[in-house]
Structure 1
């Protein structure tokens, strides 16, 4: 199979670096185009990153160095450069890991799509645009079917935008969806997230703020955590995705001194029909979601992994489960206020960022939107 040439916007940032590392040996995609800020443009990628390489996989100096290390970095603001790469066969679509203002990202991603270059984005700028799908591959793959409407609405030919949600909800959305699919309505959720410092990018949170400390505020995270699940669980109606109704979420989001791996402590209140603890465990253990015949390379074989130890899951021990793409859950027990409580861990820069974006691209390719 000839690999599809892809590009990365924001390639020198922390999420961009994870894309470089995760795609180094990808069986479907090959990085042939990298772009970042004007200050990095014109440099070889290895030089542009310099001593800031922080991806958790691969390196840029040794024998495992990704081929992208020798690519020349282009200016992400110059869409004509990407158009030229597409014309010569070096670019079929881009992953967006842009780090700039939301309005700037929104306009720039739309410029790429209007130029006929599909955008698979990690950024939050287009998450609430009605005709843009916000995808978790195992949860709402059908939302990708709004793409032809998106293209028709905007007069785009081959280009489109698809986004992934915030990393803070990855640790509980798949377990929640599995329960909903099994016929158990969830009415209220209280979630407290303990979010790793890598989620703040690089250099991120000052050591004087985070060492020996917990910061009980992350700008915008609680709003994203409370609102984004409603779109993911919504339905396509007309030319837009309409939010799910009847679910209320209350979130506390905290930054903690952990490098990688977001933890969430969750309490769920069900409708009249309530599962037993054994039923919950059976639902999560048997949950597969994606058809096996799709054989998506980044998809976890077991999306939800149950840890029975009383002190698991833990970020350091469980964040790498199944390529860093699985959700590990534990401490599954009755809740004295609601019905069910549990703890969950997911890898925020893999499942919650670059790995999730790659899985979305794989899904879009399997559905015929990329190729």
Structure 2
């Protein structure tokens, strides 16, 4: 499973390493939404959430689908600017069709979902499919998707105001604190690229990012079998709050963007050997590994998993039963849907290498 980005004929100056305030804000928002993915920042998340004004906390919850399981591509700028305001201005320049399609892909929790053209705003079949998928995610997602399609201008303005309000609430202070670490990493990457070339620089970004020089591709180990083009260039954005995630967005016609953690944090915790054996046996099947990596990004129904990986529902059910027996999954009922999700704490007990790979 990998994403191959074609860099044939792309000059080195189009491979950009840059800091992005909006991307780091998005990483912070993801930590607030899913603190169990980030043990180092659980205390920060708890304190920050407790200090939020009720109105902002409600608006963040309303829109968290834009950054919870995956990231809306417009939240990771291909050409980062110096300030959050400038980057939000660039988001405002997107047409409604582009914005809505990106937002609905993340809101519906379907990383492999592809909408037709021009967008669900004008295509009845895509609109119905998007609303149905959002309904399966719960009433908040369904309400957000419905309002976004009905009045995209209003929702876009509301999301922008919410992101701006994060500045005085928590972002400005934390951005000032982490900016020197990000700047230091950018200096190291620039020096490494100049002295040792692209292959070594990509290795320093992440062991999951490699250069296939023969095929002129940058290959990224992600939960997908896909290809993209860097004909317009490619951007690498360091993050302090993003560990352990390696986030990649590659919307058609736009620069692929990779957000990578500056440094790994945390150490593996000791776990009982009996539990390790049981869980490793459960994870020994390639199909179950795919299901685990999918469920690490958010809850899914059996039908969604079957559709995503071209499996039968009974086959998925059998694999889920093995994972549940090993205590690696949690479930909850949402109306007529049963949603499965990876138990992040149980998986983390197997070690940070496994957890980093699963969440990548």
| More strand by percentage | 1
Question: Smaller-chain TM-score range?
Answer: under 0.3
The normalised TM-score by structure 1 is 0.24
Q: Which has the higher contact order (CA 8 A, sep 6+)?
A: 2
The normalised TM-score by structure 2 is 0.25
| More helix by percentage | 2
